[in-house]
Structure 1
């Protein structure tokens, strides 16, 4: 295999016309230049220079290698520029995964800011409800995923960065006997018919774990796996529901919302990234924007 550094030395000799001039240009001694050219000739298996008066000139093989060295040098320079652009966030792409209720409050404003700061970065944005995006992050198929912290950590090499705590509120029909109270104990809802608002996964785990800590298991009269539909069922008087603050959207007539305690169900929203992946400037900027938007939403 030909040594690229020695090829660059050969090109310097060819373009300057002498070993001495090449040595002065590169900061080597003439002896060192001659040794490197001789080593390159052994690698190539053919003479690359020949005497021409007081100087040297390239053989046909020497001219060939010199021309290819120029091409290689240009490619290396272009690669270095492209790498610097990628490293500094001027180019590249980011794959972002998110779930529905964080879209308007966290993801949209954070991506708008990223687009202003890094307009050359392409964004692959995908909704992941109800799939678990952590395997994608683990494999490197996604750069960042907004997730609710899972009950257990099964994915090695994935780092979870806390963004915000999103408390659940009790949604009651407006005429419900408990609607006049400002704060409810979770156990107050033990005997109520429940409207499910969460699909199986970390969010539902938060609700069920809180109910278990309050000493009961909710009796579901209906399961919608959708906040808007669940609130519609509540407004119709079919039961009560727990809805996270970020999932409320526009207030619905016929529904009152009350804080919960003992315990207060809270889902912990995190940004999931691969360990060591945050050296990408655009990814750092996105994580910073997500963190600041989370602070505004808290």
Structure 2
């Protein structure tokens, strides 16, 4: 029989790419990690890792075992949480969310959850989609509010339920020469200086500029759309901002980008096992009807 602890050790080796880093994460010695992997290989009758000068990589068998280990760990976390709920009589929900989506959608949805399930304790953690989906997959979060932009999200073992489209607008100062236009193309502002509010927006705009034959002039790069708009307000540059992050200001205007308009797709990611829980169903439904 395959030992669950050895699967956990293999998962950490795969995550870190070395025995020594996995050992540090597990609070073991590298020798102990090596022995656990060797014992696992004896059990399954084949190599699970390849040791090389640049670190450790998984074999095909190793990848299958890591996938199985992640599934088992998620189910154990789910069972432990259910046992805790039975013992304490207190239900809990953990929600992972990206910042702007959380501000726009979560307050009303959580209010509905609290009204329909007053004994549920709610924890909200802020994460970008690429970090929140693994939390759902592992059972560390019950659901995640996420977005897709120019690349699809990895959705193995989870389900993405659509919530809303989140189209982008150009945010300019009201005294900008183009501020009275009903719509703008990105080429219309090719000579402007830019303020970025997100690394993904930055990557998209750099790619668009390269395809269109011009270079972006960047004034500032941030990781916060609200701060980016404050910089636009101060005259630092212009910005590309999604609908859910637009802030009201007498000094700013938001002008739709002409087709093909860049648009984020916001959704809820949930694992099949979590969709059986009534509070999770309530929150998912609340989020999908919040727009």
What TM-score results when the alignment is normalised by the length of structure 2?
0.63
Distance in 1 between residues matched to 2:152 and 2:90, nearest whole Å: 36
Shift of 1:186: 2.1
**Cα 1:153–1:232, aligned 2, differ >3 Å: closer, same or farther?**
closer
1:245 corresponding residue in structure 2: 243
Unaligned runs of 5+ in 1: 1-81
Distance in 1 between residues matched to 2:203 and 2:265, nearest whole Å: 12
Distance in 2 between residues matched to 1:91 and 1:161, nearest whole Å: 27
1:285 corresponding residue in structure 2: 282
The structure 2 residue matched to 1:222, chosen from 215, 220, 223, is: 220
1:261 corresponding residue in structure 2: 258
Distance in 2 between residues matched to 1:115 and 1:214, nearest whole Å: 49
Shift of 1:275: 3.1
**Secondary structure of 1:237's partner?**
coil
Equivalences, count: 206
1:145 corresponding residue in structure 2: 144
> For 1:73-93, what per-residue CA distance to the aligned partner results, in whole angstroms no more than 9, with x for missing partners?
xxxxxxxxx99x97xxx9522
Please identify the structure whose Cα radius of gyration is greater: 1
**Cα 1:134–1:217, aligned 2, differ >3 Å: closer, same or farther?**
farther
1:175 corresponding residue in structure 2: 175
What TM-score results when the alignment is normalised by the length of structure 1?
0.62
Runs (4 or more) in structure 1 with deviation over 4 Å come to 203-217
8 Å CA contact 1:162, 1:268 repeated in 2: yes
Give the RMSD, CA atoms, in angstroms.
2.6
Structure-to-structure mapping, 1:65-214, within 5 angstroms: 92-128=91-127, 132-149=131-148, 151-198=151-198, 200-201=199-200, 204=202
**Cα 1:154–1:178, aligned 2, differ >3 Å: closer, same or farther?**
same
Distance in 1 between residues matched to 2:156 and 2:238, nearest whole Å: 38
1:69 corresponding residue in structure 2: none
Distance in 2 between residues matched to 1:123 and 1:245, nearest whole Å: 26
